[in-house]
Amino acid sequence: MFTCPIPAPDPHRIRLAHGGGGEMTSRLIEDIFLPAFGTENLTQHDSAVVSAPKGKLAITTDSFVVHPIEFSGGDIGSLAIHGTVNDLSMSGARPLYITAGFILEEGLDTAVLSRIAHSMGQTARQAGIAIVAGDTKVVEQGKGDGLYINTSGIGIVEHSLAIAPSSIEPGDAVLVSGDIGRHGITIMSARAGIDLQTDLQSDSANLWPSVSTLLQSGIAIHCLRDITRGGLSMTLNELAETSGTTILLDETAIPVCETVRSTCDLLGLDILQTACEGRYLAIVPEKQAEQTLLALQRHNPEAARIGTVIPSGTAPLLIDGLLGVRRILSKPYGEQLPRIC
């Protein structure tokens, strides 16, 4: 009895031909992306054509290379939608349209791709943002890592505030929208195979509802910034540097959940450099600090006032520590944990 010496290609694995723009690419779009994203907006032409909103547009782009691609509380697909929605939200822009570009590694299980695509579609629908255009490329095995996703977003600015680092002034209050570090610690433990024996999940979330509440409450927001790579240290250092001010933090006020704190202690990680994917900083006039806190707490009871902007001092970022000592918080050199988003 003879058997065929050449094994047939596994129909459940991504092949280079899936990225060739031919019949295989069409099948991938029809079998996986259209059912996942919905057909009502996704263009099958070279570009999507949509009505231009009135006012100012916010535009942003982000590539996602998180490893592993699936983790407790999310996956690379939901993270990509949230990340781009959040970047728009940080300009106070209502998210409208998003594009999705995939770089697939040859050999990727199509069931994984389908799960990720459905997760993106669901996350986008929940966020009220339309996936309007997409693109797929395939690279050889060993030239990628499963899949990478780029999402670019367009939003509409419906307020007249100048939400930007240049609006930050000494005297402003600094608030955080929830407890920090859950995303970084979740990814770290998933990657290292550490079972934290808790229900810790990534904080990956859509921040637009919270930002929208601030805008509707009439807060004269000076600046918003989501806390991602480099954590609180990086984000606040950048804001202080760009605005030419110093930010003074109160370490005792920074909300951190017990699991995150103890895991950081155990592993020697700096919680202030640990990434979130669903938390942001709001910098607002002192007289609206209390009102801002109440608005933030409607979306997350852990929201807190954590500091104050002061005139430019010895360093961009200072912190009054747990033991009452004031110290400088430097910009992290790189990320303590690579590829967290």
Footprint of a second copy on residues 256-315 (CB under 8 A)?
none
> Minimal distance in Å, beta carbon 198 to a second copy?
26
Residues 6+ apart with CB under 8 A from 19: 25, 104, 136, 137, 138, 139
**Which of 37, 71, 102, 208 touches a second copy (CB under 8 A)?**
102
Interface mask toward a second copy for 125-164; x: CB under 8 A: -------xxxxxxxxx-xxxx--x-x-xxxxxx------x
Stretch that binds a second copy, among 52-60, 70-78, 257-265, 304-312 (CB under 8 A): 52-60
Stretch that binds a second copy, among 109-117, 210-218, 264-272, 333-341 (CB under 8 A): 333-341
> Minimal distance in Å, beta carbon 96 to a second copy?
10
> Minimal distance in Å, beta carbon 155 to a second copy?
7
> With respect to a second copy, which residue has the nearer C-beta, 227 or 254?
227
Q: What is the size of the binding site for a second copy (CB under 8 A)?
A: 87
> Minimal distance in Å, beta carbon 241 to a second copy?
9
Q: Which two tokens stand for residue 36?
A: 């996942």
Residue 26: HSE in the Cβ half-sphere, 13 Å Cα cutoff: 3
> Minimal distance in Å, beta carbon 324 to a second copy?
28
> Minimal distance in Å, beta carbon 308 to a second copy?
22
**Which of 72, 217, 242, 297 touches a second copy (CB under 8 A)?**
242
**Which of 13, 25, 297, 310 touches a second copy (CB under 8 A)?**
25
> With respect to a second copy, which residue has the nearer C-beta, 234 or 319?
234
Residues 6+ apart with CB under 8 A from 314: 246, 328
Does residue 244 touch a second copy according to CB under 8 A? no
Report the distance separating Cα 277 and Cα 62, nearest Å.
Answer: 13
Residues 6+ apart with CB under 8 A from 230: 273, 275, 331, 332, 335
Beta bridge partners of 273: none
Is residue 68 reached through a cis peptide bond, with omega within 30 degrees of 0 on the bond before it?
yes
Contact 87, 54 (CB under 8 A): no
> With respect to a second copy, which residue has the nearer C-beta, 132 or 264?
132
Question: Please, which of residues 66-95 interact with a second copy by CB under 8 A?
Answer: 86-88, 90-91, 93
Does residue 50 touch a second copy according to CB under 8 A? yes
Bridge pairing between strands 173-176 and 147-157: unpaired
Does residue 39 touch a second copy according to CB under 8 A? no
For tokens 């032409």, name the residue.
45
Report the distance separating Cα 216 and Cα 213, nearest Å.
Answer: 5
Give DSSP secondary structure letters for 227-283: --TTHHHHHHHHHHHHHTEEEEEEGGGS---HHHHHHHHHHT--GGG---SS-EEEE
> Minimal distance in Å, beta carbon 186 to a second copy?
17
Interface mask toward a second copy for 163-182; x: CB under 8 A: -xx-----------------
